Amino acid sequence: MRRPMMSMAAMAALVTASAVTAAEFRVLAWNVESNRPGQPPVSDADVVGGQLTDLLKAPATKAEIVALSEVEPKTVERYRRAVAEGIGGEVDFVTSASGGYADADTLMLLVDARRFRIDEVVELHRYAGIRTNFTVDEANSSEFGRVRARSPLMAKLEDRATGASLWIVVTHLARGENDLRTDQARALRQWAADKGEPVVLAGDCNFDYDFATQRGNAAYDAMLEGNVWTWVKPDPLVDSNWSEDRKSGLVGVDSYPNSILDFVLVANAAKTWGGDSDVVVRPGDFPDDERTSDHRPIIATFRPTP
């Protein structure tokens, strides 16, 4: 029996739908928690790497772009293998040169090389006269002159599926230095406003957004000022970091419950991509232990139109 001919209109609709589907991509961001020199271990890259592989193999959390923070240089290859195994193909990646704690706390961006190509990489130490990092300035310090914090890591990608370009920004904004964190947010806001191209930012922003008050800290306010950036806000909101004050004796108690530190934000044309995000909750992930990360991953899906 002959099949009925598909109308030109129906065929065009099918092609359009296929193009939209092909353009969809996901970003997985995770603070994998690095170990500090001279201190007891707080994570194990083999354990966290295995969890990362499992996440990328699962349909709900597979991604073509992976943004990691708190990556120790000696674990870079472990995380590269974890992502390659998870996506089932070759990856391209870059790491940042700056990072705190004797450079044991860097940023890493990995992409599925079948889908994206890294065309340009920038590590932003300062922008428009606004600092995003600082150097150790104590003359008697063994680390004198070293860049101390984590500068935002930017990469311009070409989407092989569409030929379009976009910028991915990997962040881990300053935790203990409130003024620096606010400056980092101000610089990122100005950079995105000047860039004009679609931008997706993913990572640990340390914005301390509280669910009850629906407010963040000064850096959160600085980042969202002027509507340059839009938060791809998870719904529902889920606590993304376990913070335990062991010195107080309150073991097993989260010091900052019902708050979120890990964000995905978009600027420019990326605001029109129908993005959504979720905090990934896995059985037994919190409280963490000395082998696992104290952060939950966050997954974001984008649907650029051709």
Q: Which of 91-105, 113-127, 176-190, 253-267 has the lowest mean pLDDT?
A: 91-105
What pLDDT shows up at residue 250? 64
Q: pLDDT band at 99, cuts 50/70/90?
A: confident
170-217, pLDDT tens digit by residue? 999 998 889 999 999 999 999 999 998 999 999 999 999 999 999 999
Supply the DSSP string of 123-181, one letter for each residue: E-SEETTEES--B---TT-TTTT-B-S---EEEEEEETTT--EEEEEEEE--SS-HHHH
Q: Is the pLDDT of residue 141 over 70?
A: no
Measured between alpha carbons, how far is 156 from 94 in angstroms, rounded to an integer?
11
Q: Higher pLDDT residue, 176 or 77?
A: 77
Measured between alpha carbons, how far is 154 from 169 in angstroms, rounded to an integer?
4
Assigned token pair, 260: 């979120």
Q: Is the pLDDT of residue 3 over 90?
A: no
130 φ, ψ (degrees, to nearest 5): -105, 130
10-46, pLDDT tens digit by residue? 333 333 333 335 689 999 999 999 998 888 999 999 9
Domain 25-302 CATH superfamily = Endonuclease/exonuclease/phosphatase (3.60.10.10)
215-257, pLDDT tens digit by residue? 999 999 999 999 999 999 999 999 999 988 665 556 678 888 8
Q: Higher pLDDT residue, 276 or 254?
A: 276
Facing residues of 230 across strands? Answer: 266
Measured between alpha carbons, how far is 135 from 15 in angstroms, rounded to an integer?
53
Q: pLDDT band at 115, cuts 50/70/90?
A: very high
The pTM for the full model equals 0.89
User: For the chain, what are the domain ranges?
Assistant: 25-302
Mean pLDDT of the chain: 88
Letter string b/e over residues 262-276, b meaning 16 or more CB atoms within 10 A of that residue's CB: bbbbbbbebbebebe
Assigned token pair, 41: 């271990």
What pLDDT shows up at residue 137? 59
What pLDDT shows up at residue 37? 81
Q: Higher pLDDT residue, 21 or 298?
A: 298
What pLDDT shows up at residue 15? 32
Q: pLDDT band at 149, cuts 50/70/90?
A: confident
Q: Higher pLDDT residue, 78 or 16?
A: 78
Q: pLDDT band at 264, cuts 50/70/90?
A: very high
